[in-house]
Each structure stands twice: as C-alpha cells, then as structure tokens.
Structure 1
C-alpha cells in the first residue's frame, strides 16, 4: 500500500481502515488470477473500495468513493471497481438512486472485468469489519446483526446475497 492510498484512508475509523487494508492484501495475494495489465488497478481498487466512508457527499460510500477517486485522477477501472463493489447497484436501487448514477464509471463487460469485480467482492465479503478473515456466511450474519430488518443496508444485502455468494464461490473455486 503506498502513501497516497494511506493518506486517502486516514479519515476512516480504525476498524474500517483495518477492513479495507485487509481487503487490499487479500486481492494482492490472488492477483495472479488476473491478466497482468489489470493487477495493479484491481489491487488499488481493493485497498480503496471503502474510501467513500471517509468522504461522505451523497451518503452512499461506493459512489462517494468513486467520485473522490475520479477527482484525484484515478483510472476509470479503479473508479469502476469502487463504484460497483459488492452489490452496490442493488443498494443504490434500495436507496432510490437512479440507475444512471453509475454511468460515468461503467465499463464494457468483459471476462477480465468480471474476474476483477469478483476478486474485490470476494475479498470484501470474506473480511470482517475489523479485518479478520471470515466465511461468507459469517460476514452476512455480522452485517445483518448490525443493521435491523427493513433498513437500507439490510434490505440491500438480503437482495444481493445470491450475486455476492456467486462471486465468492467463483473466486474460491479458482484458488
């Protein structure tokens, strides 16, 4: 993790920062699953996937993070991975955002980007809130315990569970 990333993560709480750093470390360990030209971008995105929590504008961290990173000159690939991480489209819908809110970060779907997205989702969904490695089911149970039924986050995680589980299974099966 370089100094620029550390500086961007500074406003996060200690536990959120620990989670985010471990997600980056996990992706570093499996980056060999990616084409070489994408490895650095995906690792950077993994380290920065939750940066939006430290710079709230809309209150929706994937979008706030992607906008922040775009303003700092990060690549469209990094911004895409941050904007679309871990079922964020489902949560955006639950929050009432229009689908076009992500348009500036959209990339053409390709098998390479599908793997890149899966790696970030897998790392995020197997890392607990303080950076410990957990199973997918433990991670979901933790999220559900912190957000009451009917809340935005709980509704979004419940709706996106099949997509999240599939991404985790695809990566786990590749290792």
Structure 2
C-alpha cells in the first residue's frame, strides 16, 4: 500500500460546532487506540477536504468522520459490530440521528449487518444514500490504518487481509466490494469537475 500524503494536523482542520464536539468525543474514546486514532484523524481531514469541492456540509461530514469508528471503543461495544455500536452510543448520548445514521451505514455496513443478522437493529437509523454519505465512505476508504491516504483498491485489499478470509467482511465481499468501488467512482467523477 502506497501512502499519497502526510497526516493533516488536527489543529489545522476548520471546525464547526458539531465537528468540534465530535473531535473531542472521538479523541476521548479512540485517542489511546494507536492506529485506530491515526486512521480517524486521517478520515476527518480527508472528509473536511472533500466538503467544499463536493458542495456538502463541512461541519456534518467532518463530525461523522470523527465519529465513524467510535464503535471500536471498549465502552461502546455491545454487539461487536462497530457501525451499529457507534450509532447506538451516539444516540444514547444525544447526538443528532442524522450523524448516527451516517456512522451506522458508513462503508457498506449494511452488507455486513445483513450477514450478521443485525439488519433490523441497523434499520433504526436513516440510510440516507446521499453524496455526503458517499463522501464519508470515500474518506474512510482512502485513508489507511496509519492515517495516510491510499487509493480505494489498496485500502480495501488491506482491510480484507487484516480481517482475514473467514471474516464477515470477506463473506460479503461479492456485494460490498462492487458497492464500495461504485462509491469511489461516483466521488472521483464529481471531483474531476473541480480539479
């Protein structure tokens, strides 16, 4: 996997009220988790940078990016499925349902939820399928574990290898892989008009 850029310092990211609160929460839950925190920082920086070119709400996408992996934090784990555990944690703590929905469905989570029998629980959250939701997934799929940018195919291959051939991610690869490639193509197509 080839990194294409360096980490953006957190202090240089523009923040609105939602993203500022999200950063604080994410750091409190993930700040001691090494690569998970580096990845989260990188995804927040990537998402923030996508907002203006794509004409989407910068505060909302950056907040969702900060929070997309909070379901990995030990204090949030209930089902062991991080998108759902993260969304449930956010909902219990008064975050807007739209943010929880973006977290719940990021990066094709619906495919894994279906395989694990968790679709009904995930359906408690809105699956908005917008450019903003696609941009969150694209940000997640273009930042590796160390927080550096990578191309989507390298990121996906790394994730499958890291989780292993018997993982839930591998089991849904036939559906999730094309879905994520489609998102990457759509976002890159939209970005090609702003270059």
| Fold conserved between structures, TM > 0.5 | yes
1:1-175 correspondence runs (5 A): 2=20, 5-12=23-30, 13-32=33-52, 33-35=54-56, 38-54=57-73, 55-97=76-118, 99-106=119-126, 109=128, 114-175=130-191
Greater percentage in helix: 1
- Quote the Cα distance in structure 1 between the aligned partners of 2:173 and 2:72: 17
Question: CA shift at 1:3, angstroms?
Answer: 5.7
Q: CA deviation at 1:11?
A: 3.4
- Name stretches of at least 5 consecutive residues in structure 1 with no aligned partner: none
CA RMSD after TM alignment: 1.8
* TM-score w.r.t. length of structure 2: 0.79
8 Å CA contact 2:113, 2:122 repeated in 1: no
| Rounded Cα–Cα distance in structure 2 between residues aligned with 1:88 and 1:81 | 10
- What runs of 5+ residues in structure 2 fail to find an aligned partner? 1-18
TM-score, scaled relative to structure 1: 0.87
